[in-house]
Amino acid sequence: MTKIHDVVIVGSGPAGWTAAIYTARAGLNPILLAGTLNAGGALMTTTEVENFPGWPEGIMGPELMQKFEEQAVRFGADMRYEDAVELTLDGEIKEIRTDEQTYRTKSVILAVGSDYKKLGLEGEELFTGKGVSYCATCDGFFFKNREIAVIGGGDSAVTEAQFLSRFGTTVHVIHRRDELRASQIMADRLLANDKVTMHWNSVVEKINGTDRLESLTLRNTETGETSDLPVSGMFVAIGHEPRTKFLQGALKLDEGGYIVVDEPSTRTSLPGVFACGDVVDSHYQQAITAAGTGAKAALDAEEYLDSLSIESEDVDE
């Protein structure tokens, strides 16, 4: 019979690691499934994080995640580079299957985060890795002295554009409205960058190229006029969507696909299953808010496990 764990945490961003720190310190010996491709979560592809409290000079995203990991491992969290591929979450003992093995556990904390949102244009998938990218820190270097486009107007787009201006001859920011959604300080910095050209009220209508991306057809949303913008790279930064497809209907989701929790707790629609971080949050999506909900999920799991042991004591008597 395989061991029954107290808690398995799925996901290794700020929410997952914070849940691991708390459950490890509570003596619950958490297993943390960090994933294979996305280990560390969204901050692994971020450059400098300036708004995480405690780091007055800022800290690079991957370094911050390394610190989270060190802190959790110090208290006994057991991290595995495995992806949860199938979950059986109803019933008192839950099962999580990875490519390596099946974990049996009394409680589960889901902190699986989100994926990059796609534009949904023809050629977007075909040219991914051939000019189309979702991660400036991963791919920016390949576009040294090239014309680059960044799509979006939020903090991600602004951060990506600012970073890419180190490499590109010009960075064209294509935004569907006439003002940025990004925070003021970041927006002001971008607008003052003379390697950046803003294309307001503009959307990408077509992605053009033969073997690689060669140009974008832009449409002005006010005049309807179209124009061709020759670029070698297009970085799409239009937000995220929750990573919940693998749950295959096991839990209640909202219309946006986010896991529904019984707020202010992190309890999902199934007892013993808790969710935290960006997979429940369509609004704030900050490292610090994700970490906060990770702490809540750990405390909720601890309370749930206590209630199970009280029930079993009652049965023993």
Q: Kindly report the backbone phi and psi dihedral angles of residue 192, in degrees, each rounded to the nearest multiple of 5, phi listed first.
A: -85, -5
**CB of 172 or CB of 240, closer to ligand NDP:** 240
Note if 276 is an active site residue.
Answer: no
Distances (CA, A) of 58 to 47, 53, 54, 129: 10, 9, 9, 30
**Does residue 72 contact residue 20 with C-beta atoms inside 8 Å?**
yes
- Is residue 155 at the binding interface for ligand NDP, with CB under 6 A as the rule? yes
Residue 218 burial (C-beta neighbours within 10 Å; 0-12, 13-18, 19+): buried
CB atoms within 10 A of CB 166: 12
Q: Which residue is nearest to ligand NDP (CB)?
A: 154
193, 162 Cβ separation under 8 angstroms: yes
Active-site entry in 139, 155, 278, 281: 139
The contact pattern for ligand NDP, residues 175-204, with x = CB under 6 A and - = no contact, is -xx---x---------------------x-
Smaller CB separation from ligand NDP, 30 or 153: 153
Footprint on residues 21-50 left by ligand NDP (CB under 6 A):
49
Considering the rule CB under 6 A, would residue 154 count as an interface residue with ligand NDP?
Answer: yes
Q: Which of 138, 178, 228, 262 is catalytic?
A: 138
Contacts of 105 (CB under 8 A, 6+ apart): 4, 5, 6, 7, 8, 31, 93, 94, 95, 96
Is the CB of 151 or the CB of 247 nearer to ligand NDP?
151
- Residue 62 touching ligand NDP (CB under 6 A): no
Q: Which stretch binds ligand NDP (CB under 6 A): 12-20, 23-31, 237-245, 269-277?
A: 237-245
Per CB under 6 A, 152 contacts ligand NDP:
yes
Of 12, 23, 107, 156, the residue at the interface with ligand NDP (CB under 6 A) is 156
- Is the dihedral angle over the CA atoms 65, 143, 236, 172 positive or is it negative? positive
Tokens of 122: 């023809």
Query: For binding to ligand NDP (CB under 6 A), which residues are involved?
Result: 49, 51, 119, 151-157, 159, 176-177, 181, 203, 238-240, 284-286
- The set of catalytic residues is 135, 138-139
